[in-house]
Structure 1
Amino acid sequence: MAFSHNQTITMLSAWLLASCFFTSAFCLQPNVLQPFDLLYESGISAYYSNEYSKVVNHIEGALDSYATLKSIKVSCWLKCRHDHGFETLLSSSASLFDIAFFNVLLLRAYCIKECQTQQLGVPSMHQANIEIVNDFYRRTPYNYLQHAYFKLKQFDKAAAAAHTFFMANPEHVEMQQNLEHYKLMAGADEGNLIDREAKPHMEAFSAGVIYYDKQMYTLAVKSFEEALEKYYKADLECRALCDQPLKFTEYEYLDYKLPLYEALADHYTQILSCEHDCVRDLATRSGRISPLENYLPSHYEYLQFSYYKAGEYGKALQCAKAYLLFHPEDEDIVGDIEHYDSLLPDMINPKDIEPRKDAMEFMHRYLLERELLKQVSDAAGVRYYEPKYWVILKSDKVINRMPADAVMQTEVDSTVPGNNTTEQALREEIHEGGPVLYDNIKLVYQSEQLNGSHRVMMDEVITPQECKDLHQVAQVITFAGDGYKGRMSPHTPNERFEGATVLKALLSGYNGQISLKSAQLFYEVSEKARTIVESYFRLNSTLYFSYTHMVCRTAITGHQDYRNDLSHPIHADNCLLDPEINICWKEPPAFTYRDYSAILYLNGDFDGGEFIFTTMDTKTVTASVKPRCGRMVSFSSGGENPHGVRAVTKGQRCALAMWFTLDPVFREVERLQADEVMATIQEEQQMRNELDLNPKDEL
């Protein structure tokens, strides 16, 4: 493929314009979109100032801005992919292929940059902290909104916000109680509540299932077709949002400079993996972890029978053949196809009817991506595990009739390493009851009394004076959100959350901000707790610190009326709870390397704040522990021990929270640094002691 003089000038001009956007703030001055993170933070600030009208304005604005940001990114990506496709490369000669490829690449890059800058302004304006992005994913803004609307006596909007939050946080039992209260005040019923963040393709699919169950097949067809159209649209949008900067978090501390093709390969692999995983995202309901079983193929199975009942045998055959692309050996569908073949008019050859085009294109791309990802894994010497999104677990599938609850099941693949665990499995091979090492410590309750496994409660682990000294340390060195990337209140907007690490305590003592003796006490007490846990649970290897945190939760005055939320929602420490199916998924972003946990309380003069264990459904409380000075609760960190903290409604609750690992690779870096600081302090103390000689010794 040869380039004319004008084409070359066009290419160079495009690159120069692109450079303008890559290197300067922006070349145009558009009416830019307000950053959603700044609006959100302004809303939170107004919340703590009890300015509820401002809370609504700012957080509603943040939600609109966030949605608009995603919409702009998607539309720009789609436009530029259409305007600058790689189809032209097919006519390029081998010698000019690289130039043609990078020509398209540069034009597309410029196009996206120009499109986004015209509508968004400086790209960096919208690069929000990952914690804030996670808040929006978890629908946390609606938690603030529901309370603000309640304070403004706009109960219908409070109910809508609470419902939207609850749909993504079904374990939040207190929000359900709030919702019932708002519905009563607003006179609304469940049918009138709208999920403001509902996924359109799932809404249409659910409607189709309802029509199908009522044997209203014509309406079912309409809904399922709408669901498929919206699914494939959502798939494109999901893939567009995968166009993100290269993430290399494990090696950020290294000055990595890869050659061109290696850099391109690394970045493309990241994006390809994200795009391939859209199958999971689109099949996962908001707030859930695991995708719905057999979600996309189910559309075609429902449709094939609905079309059959509506008398459209050709379309039924197309859908049945589409389903076989996902499950080639499904005997029931093979039988359906034979039946549909017999119903077709003689002039139609069943072999001429192919599977639906949308399914064929999807599966063709999906299989190519899977093969490419497998090649990447093989090249890296890593075994590739393809998630089994379309496995059917039900053994009693009815021919030509799919039960309404079939899509509510989820996949449990016990063959994948590091996968999910059930309560029963985690109760096996439990060892505990070793010595507590210190005579003064009282063993109060073991697993049996705490109605679980691998749990223990001890009293008098530290003395009242040590509690007092550590509590005083907390008043000086803890800061809002410290230890959680500066988040003011990571678990509830009704409490102030403050914390400090052991390293911070030692540095504060070394610099004279607090008593050096008290700083050392934090270090020594946490080490004491570690040795107790290691001994009591009869561990055969060394237990290392994974994270050590002094944390205080303080009830915010004026925020306790009608409060039913938890200070810390029910969770497990090394896996992601899925309460609907009683499974804990041991996968990121959970701290999968944590093995044991311990909480040592410094005081008990507050209201609420009980530590609770629950079953995996997060609803049934199996044990409740009232904090007091010197009391310690310890337990294994997995799904066998879901736990949380009840609301602190008055006063301040302080404790030392400690997480441990058996894998030295995941030792707490700050703890290692604290060890070094502690060694320095001890050396200096020893030197001072040696210099502080008795005058009589000089004689």
Structure 2
Amino acid sequence: MPPQLNQFDKAAEAAHTFFMANPEHMEIQQNLKNYKTMTEAKDMRFIDREHRPHMEDYTAAVKYYDAEEYELTIEHMEEALKGYYQADVECRAMCEGPQKFVEHEYVGYKANLYEAIADHYIQMLVCEHECVRDLATRPGRLSPVENYLPLHYDFLQFSYYKVGDYKNALECAKSYLLFHPNDEDVTDNVAYYEELLAEQMNTEEFLPRKEAEKFMRRHELESKIIQTASVDLGFTYIEPDFWISHGLRQDENRVPSGVQNRLTDSQRLTSGKKTTQKIDRELQEGGPLLYDSVEFVYNSEQLNGTQRVLLDNIVSEAECKELQKIANSIMLAGDGYRGRTSPHTPNERFEGATVLKALRYGYEGRVLLKSARLFYDVSEKARRIVESYFLLNSTLYFSYTHLVCRTALAGQQDNRNDLSHPIHADNCLLDPEANECWKEPPAYTYRDYSALLYLNGDFEGGEFIFTEMDAKTITATVKPKCGRMVSFSSGGENPHGVRAVTGGQRCAVALWFTLDPLNRELERLQADEVMAVLDRHDQRADELNLNLRDEL
């Protein structure tokens, strides 16, 4: 929709800013396309008003690290650190100003001048203290990137080692240990760097970086002051665990311990970054399926490709019917597809719904809450199975989750030669003529794995197909049925599509996953919070029932 005040330049900037934090939002995508085709577009600036240079440099550095381009990793990671500490200064400066005084809960209580002043400055301190969380949180997201600041030094220590700069490697490793003093891997690295440098200089002269030491001293002191205010001055603030609440906790999935690179027969150096070790991805499958009921059907070789798997009995017949029932209760035509009834073909009707929408309807009583929770639980079950089967050594996050049905339209099925969903790849732009898949926008380049969990098979057509890069040569065909799930890596190695649904309704839970926590699905994070609230309500209800039984 055009902006109401006809300020198209500002509307374009706002839309682009929202899109950068919510790239799955179909309506915003369409709005951006509309703005770009308008006559005023030549004067428009598509600027992300909330872009964070320090995060952009960090993301670029991690990508270079994955590509084993360590000099570029160092360049961008050092820039990310400079940007982070500058952003920290700016964030803390924004806390200096009027604060809202919270009246004491006791009736008739009036704060004196000194208490009001103390409250004002403690609130400022809390605001400054929380800058660490803010700077580790991507715009549009609710949760910070875990272990964000320490990871800068961890990536740097190993990158400097790889380019032969042992002095900086030692300095960065010691900086990392300020945050995680008990990390055995990096402690071993420090010892190894000191051994390499022992003959050249006194390694005791190499200390952690000054900005890291200053940061930790300040943060620890602030924590003590805030806790003292909470206990002695009645200031209401309960600080959660330091590492969790401020995005600094070591995530054992993101930075696992015990990962080693062979140097010589007698020497080893731990990188602390299992997620970035180069592996033969074709061999990384066949892990445990986690659930006794799940049945293995075909692996990559049997499906004539790489990073593919077909599984059965992910959910039961009863669960399939329950999910179909909730689907037909809450789905809207075109939902998730920019409101277009038929995004891929005019011969079918597309309907969809997200996990958050289901939970909201359940909370409002418009559908059974247990059915909405089933949708949430089933998607989590699928995520865990994919993560386990492909032997992923880092956390797999939701990128987008969608309950979708395709219904053949009566009177439009004769002589069909189109597909229900054209051949494509999930994280790159398929170019059959060039035999390439270009990993660039508008493709969802951050997607790493995909899965489709089918809820029924009582329809005509609608088979899932894998093809070669030419988008013509079919390598495998999957006939949907209740509880069947096909999962695969999201790149150009797995072009796929859906044959025309020529009769009935085909329903499935479509899931896309990412290994990058910066690209976690916003609605999923919100759904997690809703589930946490519901779980607390259930726990309180159980406690009340238990107390009532005891009284009786």
Question: TM-score of the superposition, structure 2-length normalised?
Answer: 0.52
Counterpart residue number, 1:650: 503
Question: How far apart in 2 are the matches of 1:470 and 1:130?
Answer: 29
- Following superposition, the deviation at residue 130 of structure 1 comes to 5.2
Aligned-pair CA distance for 1:484: 2.2
Task: Choose which of 683, 687, 691 in structure 1 pairs with 2:544.
Answer: 691
Could you give the per-residue CA deviations for residues 491-528 of structure 1, whole angstroms, max 9, x where no partner exists? 11110000000000111111101110000000000000
- Corresponding residue of 1:583: 436
Q: What whole-Å deviation, never above 9, does each CA across 1:256-312 have from its counterpart, x for those lacking one?
A: xxxxxxxxxxxxxxxxxxxxxxxxxxxxxxxxxxxxxxxxxxxxxxxxxxxxxxxxx
Partner of 1:477: 330
**Alpha carbons of 1:240 and 1:653: their partners in 2 closer, same or farther (altered >3 Å)?**
closer
SS of match in other structure, 2:315: coil
Distance in 1 (CA, whole Å) between partners of 2:549 and 2:464 is 57
What's 1:569 paired with? 422
Map of 1:606 onto structure 2: 459
Deviation at 1:485, TM superposition (A): 2.4
- Give the counterpart letter for 1:575 in structure 2: C
Is 1:131 aligned to residue 52 of structure 2?
A: no
Whether the 8 Å CA contact 1:426–1:639 is kept in 2: the answer is no
Q: Is residue 494 of structure 1 aligned with residue 494 of structure 2?
A: no
| 3-state secondary structure, aligned to 1:692 | helix
Partner amino acid for 1:450? L
RMSD of aligned alpha carbons: 3.1
Match of 2:491 among 614, 638, 646: 638
**2 CA distance for matches of 1:129 and 1:527?**
27
8 Å contact from structure 2 (residues 281, 307) kept in 1: no
Residue of structure 1 equivalent to 2:215: none
Q: Indicate the SS of the match to 2:387.
A: helix
**Judging changes above 3 Å, is the alpha-carbon distance between structure 1 residues 641 and 250 closer, same or farther for their aligned structure 2 residues?**
farther
Amino acid paired to 1:444 = V
Is the 1:606–1:652 contact (alpha carbons within 8 Å) kept by the matching residues of 2? yes
AA in 1 matched with 2:47? F
- Name structure 1 gaps, 5 residues minimum: 1-21, 26-108, 110-127, 138-237, 254-424
Q: Is the 8 A contact 1:576 1:587 kept in 2?
A: yes
Query: Structure 1 residues 696 and 431 mapped into 2: Cα distance closer, same or farther (>3 Å)?
Result: closer
Letter in 2 for 1:246: R
Match of 1:248 among 47, 53, 65: 47
Aligned-partner Cα distance in 2 for 1:24–1:458: 53
Greater RCO, CA 8 A, separation 6+: 2
Structure 1 residue aligned with 2:445? 592
The 1-side partners of 2:460 and 2:34 are apart by 28
Equivalent residue runs for 1:499-510 within 5 Å: 499-510=352-363
Structure 2 residue aligned with 1:541: 394
Residue type at the aligned position of 2:289: V
Number of the residue aligned with 1:457 = 310
Higher helix share: 1
Aligned-partner residue type, residue 421 of structure 2:
H
* Pair 1:666-2:501 in alignment: no
Q: Are residues 239 and 484 of structure 1, via their aligned partners in 2, closer, same or farther at CA, if it must alter by over 3 Å?
A: closer
Matches of residues 130-529 of structure 1 in structure 2 within 5 Å? 131=30, 243-249=42-48, 251=50, 430-529=283-382
Q: Does the Cα contact within 8 Å between 1:597 and 1:635 map onto a contact in 2?
A: yes
Alpha-carbon shift at residue 654 of structure 1 (Å): 0.4
What is the CA–CA distance in structure 2 between the aligned matches of 1:552 and 1:538, rounded to whole Å?
A: 30
- Check whether the contact 1:598–1:634 (CA below 8 A) recurs between aligned residues: yes
Task: Tell me the amino acid that sits aligned with residue 633 of structure 1.
Answer: V
The number of residue pairs the alignment matches comes to 307
Once the two structures are superposed, residues 36-68 of structure 1 have per-residue CA deviations (whole angstroms, 9 ceiling, x without a partner) of xxxxxxxxxxxxxxxxxxxxxxxxxxxxxxxxx
1:623 equivalent to 2:422? Answer no
**Percentage identity across aligned positions?**
65
- Deviation for aligned residue 1:133: 8.5
State the partner residue of 2:220.
none
Larger Rg computed on CA atoms: 1
2:531 corresponds in structure 1 to 678
Alignment counterpart, residue 558 of structure 1, candidates 411, 427, 435: 411
- Residue 435 of structure 1 and its aligned partner are, at CA, apart by 0.7
Q: 2:35 & 2:45 partners in 1: Cα distance?
A: 22
CA contact (8 A) 2:282 2:306 kept: no
Q: Aligned letter for 1:668?
A: E
Query: What one-letter code is carried by the residue in structure 2 that aligns with 1:663?
Result: D
**Contact 1:427-1:640 at 8 Å conserved across structures:** no
Distance in 1 of aligned mates of 2:354 and 2:548: 41
Q: Is the 8 A contact 2:35 2:41 kept in 1?
A: no
Q: Distance in 2 between matches of 1:426 and 1:472?
A: 43
- Contact 1:440–1:460 (Cα < 8 Å) also in 2: yes
- Unmatched 5+ stretches in structure 2: 10-26, 53-277
Residue 695 of structure 1 deviates from its aligned partner by 5.5
Rounded Cα–Cα distance in structure 2 between residues aligned with 1:664 and 1:585: 23
Closer, same or farther in 2 for the Cα pair 1:23/1:584, shift >3 Å? closer
